[in-house]
Structure 1
Amino acid sequence: MVSRAEKNESNPDLGVLAGRLLFAVQHELFTSLAAQGFADLHPRHGAVLAYLDTEGVRATELSRLSGQHKQVIGTMIDELESLGYVQRRPDPADRRAKLICPTERGLAEMRAAGRIMTALQERHARRLGREVYTQFKTVLLDVVEHQRKRTV
């Protein structure tokens, strides 16, 4: 009988592959960010940072986009606010609501992360060929969206 570890080594399932990709990308991203002066960030902060908009975004939208519970997002916002990456501002469309807006430090992190992720994707596109990489991302996006619909 093949052990689970052996199966995941030779024929990993979708969850194992997705986890490996996520952890490898996070490792490269956050290691590179640390080297550029953002060592106080951790992969968990990605649930907010990956979806932060320069004009601000509501916490409920961050929760929806990231797939994380509102309480988790609230905790991440609190941490990022105390670290100086975001601030809460009144939403001009609804003064009762708050927008989560990047500070100058947050904007600098967003630019750095954008450069890192562009370089990472460019490296894979060169390695696989642009057409294959584009097809890969298209298929991966389809699988992700199909799976997300099953959780709603």
Structure 2
Amino acid sequence: MTKSERRSERKRRDPDLGVLVGQLLFAFQDELFATLAAQGHPDLRPRHGIILAYLDAEGSRATELARQSGQHKQVVGKLIDELEALGYVERRPDPTDRRAKLVAPTALGLDQMARSDAIVAAIEARHAQAVGAETYRAFKAVLREVTESQRAPRP
């Protein structure tokens, strides 16, 4: 067995955090967006989750969506444009600051948000049942801590 083959075998047996989190994310997105498509939202793509996962029902500023998602403002702006063209969001004046705009879900966006919440709850319930509710709660708590630590500024 070559050095490269040994490394590949080790990666398969003991994948690192990035590989595991990536596999989880892609499998989660595949299920979520396939189910949304079957429920009447066929035009949404996983990239739209950058906006939809953080969007408040009352509306959110694009700068806040960028901060929460960790994406550049330009990426967020492009995705908002796409979602606006698809009819999921609209831009409206922020009542607390007339210079600012809120990105607010339309009726279609609110429907998607409700369906996504139900789909995610079902996915999480399935995992909790598979590993046990307490183990799943502990997993999410540790994953949250690791994520926050990874996103923290480095000295």
Given residue 123 of structure 1, which amino acid in structure 2 is its aligned partner?
A: R
Q: Indicate the percent of aligned positions where both proteins have the same amino acid.
A: 59
Q: Which has the larger radius of gyration?
A: 2
Given residue 53 of structure 1, which amino acid in structure 2 is its aligned partner?
A: D
User: Within 2, Cα distance between the matches of 1:151 and 1:30?
Assistant: 34
1:88 to partner: Cα distance: 0.3
Corresponding residue number in structure 1 for 2:17:
14
The superposition leaves residues 12-60 of structure 1 with CA deviations (integer Å, 9 ceiling, x where unpaired) of 1111111001000000000000000100000000000000100000000
User: Structure 1 residue 100 and structure 2 residue 103: aligned?
Assistant: yes
Corresponding residue number in structure 2 for 1:58:
61
The answer for unaligned runs of 5 or more in structure 1 is: none
1:5 to partner: Cα distance: 2.9
User: Within 1, Cα distance between the matches of 2:110 and 2:39?
Assistant: 14
TM-score by length of 1: 0.97
CA RMSD of aligned residues (A): 1.2
TM-score by length of 2: 0.95
The answer for unaligned runs of 5 or more in structure 2 is: none
Corresponding residue number in structure 1 for 2:73:
70
Given residue 111 of structure 1, which amino acid in structure 2 is its aligned partner?
A: A
Aligned to 2:55, the other structure's residue is in SS state: coil
Aligned to 1:147, the other structure's residue is in SS state: helix
User: Structure 1 residue 79 and structure 2 residue 67: aligned?
Assistant: no
User: Structure 1 residue 49 and structure 2 residue 52: aligned?
Assistant: yes
The superposition leaves residues 101-141 of structure 1 with CA deviations (integer Å, 9 ceiling, x where unpaired) of 00000000000000000000000011111100000000000
Corresponding residue number in structure 2 for 1:126:
129
Corresponding residue number in structure 2 for 1:112:
115
